Structure 1
Amino acid sequence: MSAADRRAYRALRKRLRGLLGEIGVPRPWDLAEFCDRVARHRGRPIHLVPAELPPGAPDGAWLAGPTVDVIVYDADTTILRAEHIVCHELGHILLGHRGAGLGPELTPDVSPELLHRMGVLHRAGYADAQEQEAEVAASLIWKLAGRTLVAPRRALDPAQAEVVDRFAELLERDRDG
């Protein structure tokens, strides 16, 4: 990673930490509460729609309606994976990326069948950099929420865990610079 890439990464994390500090990441973690906080921050509701996505479709998509945001995610996945998909799409929202636009026919009671008929289950063409930024956002949300996709490999006694946690905090502060 070049020096410019490291600076851009640190700036992105700093920007995200600021946004997430304003919004607040709930601990203990609650995805619905976090979505409500993001919705309040944006001044428009966010609806989560689990759907059986066709083969080759992305695992999730953010659909920006005129007055509402809809996040469609793969219903055929684990709860943890679904939460990560939603956090990734929330990352796009928080970073101001453009979601797939929807017309005024969108209502809060959107059915997955309507979304299929509308053909909106394919990404709006995010650049690779935007996908990476959304993934950084999802990872940071999870980190602040104390979540992880994998269980820890080993259990530490409390004294060891405290040392590891302090070391991780120091590394994090150094990385955010």
Structure 2
Amino acid sequence: MVVRWRPRSGEGRGAGRPPGLRERCEQRVRALGLPHAEALTVEDVCGHISRLHGRPIHLMALELPVGSPDGLWVSAENADYVIFERRLAPVHQQQVILHEIGHLVCDHEAAPVLSADSSRLLLPSLDPEMVRRTLGREHEHSEVEMEAELVGSLIGRHISSWTAQRPWSVPPEAQELAARLAALQSPTHRGRNE
């Protein structure tokens, strides 16, 4: 399982791009062979990339914990999940989704944050490798984050239909993941939204 958090808006925007980054990102997006449809949507892009990778991509809108990033990519054994903040404006949600899709397209890995021994002490019921990959994240100014943002933006140029409002559902196989993420909310914050 790989999880990538997307930084809050405005973070990581000031750093200059490394040489060759744009060309590399453009090549990755061209290699996708995105269809040239009159009304290509984010969902169409996810469907296309799902077919290329041979595994489904599920989009999940959740209320993420206060102070957390706007989105994350979870690569499970048989599917990919792009989780994004439900309370964002629809156009912002789509940019978050595209950023996370950028991580998927670039096959980015999470950075290690806990040793296996530390993980066993703190979270004894969870596999240490899964915890390491779940909690690992890159600094928002890193080349990995810039690459995901640029790939997402380049994919976004192919989108011809930006949904104003859309109801999002959680697939049955991701209910447990959604419940665990929802449990990260502080009790005070949850009480205000219920």
Q: Does the CA-based 8 Å contact 1:87-1:138 persist in structure 2?
A: yes
User: Residue 161 of structure 1 aligns with which residue?
Assistant: none
Q: Choose the corresponding residue for 1:135, options 149, 161, 171.
A: 149
Query: Residue in 2 aligned with 1:96?
Result: 107
Higher relative contact order (CA 8 A, sep 6+): 2
Contact 1:27 1:145 in 2 (8 A): no
1:80 pairs, out of 66, 71, 91, with 91
Q: Deviations over 1:115-149 (max 9, x none)?
A: xxx989x763135111100110111111232578x
TM normalised by structure 2 equals 0.56
State the one-letter code of the partner of 1:72: I
Note if contact 1:50-1:75 (Cα within 8 Å) is conserved in structure 2: yes
- Structure 1: 5+ residue runs without aligned partners? 101-117, 149-177
Matching residue's letter, 2:18: D
Higher helix share: 1
- When structure 1 is superposed on structure 2, of 34-43 and 23-32 the one drifting more is 23-32
Report the aligned-residue RMSD.
2.8
User: For the residues of structure 1 that align with 2:21 and 2:156, how far apart are their CA atoms?
Assistant: 17
Q: How many residues align?
A: 125
CA gap of 1:99–1:36, structure 2 versus 1, over 3 A, is farther
Alignment-mate amino acid for residue 57 of structure 2: I
How far residue 25 of structure 1 moved from its aligned partner, in angstroms, is 5.9
Counterpart for residue 18 of structure 2: 5
In 2, distance between residues paired with 1:23 and 1:56?
Answer: 34
Give unmatched runs, 5+ long, in structure 2.
1-16, 112-129, 163-194
Provide the rounded CA distance (Å) in 2 between the counterparts of 1:37 and 1:144. 12
Q: Does 1:14 align with 2:26?
A: yes
- C-alpha change, 1:46 and 1:25, in structure 2 (3 Å) is farther
- Which residue does the alignment assign to 2:82? 71
Are 1:38 and 2:49 an aligned pair? yes
* Corresponding residue SS for 2:21: helix
* 1:28 shift after superposition: 1.7
- Give 1:31 shift: 1.4
How much has 1:45 moved relative to structure 2? 0.5
TM-score of the superposition, structure 1-length normalised? 0.61
CA distance in 2 between counterparts of 1:119 and 1:81 reads: 28
Distance 2:150 2:67 in 1: 23
SS of 1:58's partner is coil
Q: Partners of 1:119 and 1:10 in 2: how far apart?
A: 32
Q: Which residue of 1 aligns with 2:158?
A: 144
